[in-house]
Amino acid sequence: MVNLGDVFPDFEAETNKGPIKFHQFLGDSWGILFSHPADYTPVCTTELGRVAQLAPKFAERNVKMIALSIDSPESHNGWIKDIQSYCSLKGDFPFPIIADDKRELAVKFGMLDPDEVNAQGIVLTCRAVFIIGPDKKLKLSLLYPATTGRNFDEILRVIDSLQLTAKYKVATPVDWQSWSKVMVVPSVKPEEFKTLFPQGVEVAKVPSGKGYIRKTDAPK
């Protein structure tokens, strides 16, 4: 398993678009590595179709996407036709799918779902999401069971938060959206407000009298 803040290990793999070296594939971009249980399965079809639909939004954020399952490159390419048909997609499929047919990467990165087994008795990959920064460090990890499809609009929201908080001394509160206010992190001293947040800072009044809830407009 890779912990938050660790450099995500580099690896070589076959994909439906040819061999890759992971760090080289990412370059200076952010990256999302996400696994799915198997090709030609219903929930996975909706997920990869949705990611393909959102590809322009990920590109706007300098994010590269790559999927993974334990199927072969040939299986991936055949299944992509179904995804494109069902999700009304046209043109080239916008991201590669890793063929982890020996399950080496799935085991290495803790992507297996012990409750999801195919007809041959093989444990399948879960619905994992790893977000990796340009520094190649793991910024977020999520593990969903095979029965629950992911919300990739939420992944976009997380990307916005990660990129904003990497640049400014702010944190994003519950249900934050890119147009809403952010929280000033506790390490910022009041005398720094004018320099760091010329747009102003609101300090909430609470019964404790402690001014730790400090809001400001999201820096641009």
Known catalytic residue: 126? no
Nearest alpha carbon to residue 152 among 70, 41, 40, 32: 32
Q: What is the CA radius of gyration of the chain?
A: 20
The number of angstroms, rounded, from the C-alpha of 89 to the middle of its chain's C-alpha atoms is 21
Instruction: Determine whether 174 is exposed, middle or buried from the number of CB atoms within 10 Å of its CB (0-12, 13-18, 19+).
Output: exposed
* Other beta carbons within 10 Å of 139: 21
Q: Which of 44, 71, 100, 126 is catalytic?
A: 44
* Other beta carbons within 10 Å of 83: 22
* CA gap 158, 139 in Å, rounded: 10
* Other beta carbons within 10 Å of 210: 9
Known catalytic residue: 160? no
Scored b (16 or more CB within 10 A) or e, 109-126 reads bebbbeebeeeeeebbbb
Q: Which of 6, 10, 115, 135 is catalytic?
A: 135
Residue numbers annotated as active site: 44, 135
